[in-house]
Amino acid sequence: MNEKNKRQLYIFATALILIPAAGRLASGIILYLGIVFICLFGTLLQYLFEIFASKYAKSIYSIVIIIFLSSIFNQLVKLFSPLMNLYTDFSIYLVSFSVLIIKFVALENDETIAESLSKKFLVILKFTPLFFLIFLLRDYFGYGTITFPGLSKMIEIHLPYPNMFKDTFFYGSIPFAVIIIAIIMASIERGIRLKNYFSLKSKEKDKK
């Protein structure tokens, strides 16, 4: 798989969670921990199952394990903070599909647990900046805050907030999330094209 296709899959995996999720950074932190939790324990359980099950059933029990771990993580969030669970309940199950994409991009073959985990977490790290940037923008423009998960309530840090954004539902909505993702995607592609263009020009000058 070439880098462009991988990049598009990173963005798709991120958008799958970001678009329907509540536009609060606190929600993003919980969902990010969900990705890490499912990737970590999913990989460990997968290798455990491979000892007892046929490799031909690998894709089936991989999906079952991921869905099972999503349910476990959802219950853990509910125990930690029932309020945060209201914000993330549905989105946690979308994390399952993002993890499946991560597994696909990581292209698992016959490798050790350490190799598998390192490849998956490398993929996670690549879309981490985009993931948190979008949650930050939605939190600030939608509510004028930066939020963090808390036991009994969300911890809110109020920031200076322009009057043009006040009392406007749009900036915390799904359409705004789609617009942000589209702008960032276009900017990334444009930046890469410019980088390739100047790199090509530099090589042409060196040849001369």
Task: Express each pLDDT in 12-43 by its tens digit.
Answer: 666 767 777 888 899 989 989 988 898 889 88
Could you give the 3-state DSSP secondary structure of residue 45? Answer: helix
Instruction: In whole angstroms, give the CA distance from residue 7 to residue 126.
Output: 9
Q: What is the pLDDT of residue 147?
A: 93
Q: By the 8 A CB rule, do 140 and 24 touch? A: no
Burial-class residue 199 by CB neighbours within 10 Å (0-12, 13-18, 19+).
exposed
Judge whether residue 99 has pLDDT over 70.
yes
Determine if residue 21 is left, alpha or beta; phi over 0 gives left, psi from -120 to 50 gives alpha, anything else beta: beta
Q: What is the pLDDT of residue 205?
A: 67
32-46, 85-99, 174-188 — which one is most confidently predicted on average?
Answer: 32-46
CA separation (Å) from 69 to 58, 164, 183?
16, 42, 33
Q: What is the mean pLDDT of residues 1-18?
A: 65
Judge whether residue 129 has pLDDT over 90.
no
Strand 155-158 and strand 145-148: the pairing is antiparallel
Give the residues across from 148 on adjacent strands: 155
- Those residues whose C-beta lies under 8 Å from the C-beta of residue 133, and which sit 6 or more positions away, are 184
Where do the domains of the chain lie? 3-207
pLDDT in tens, 193-208: 787 777 777 766 666 5
Burial-class residue 88 by CB neighbours within 10 Å (0-12, 13-18, 19+).
buried
Could you give the 3-state DSSP secondary structure of residue 41? Answer: helix
Instruction: In whole angstroms, give the CA distance from residue 168 to residue 162.
Output: 11
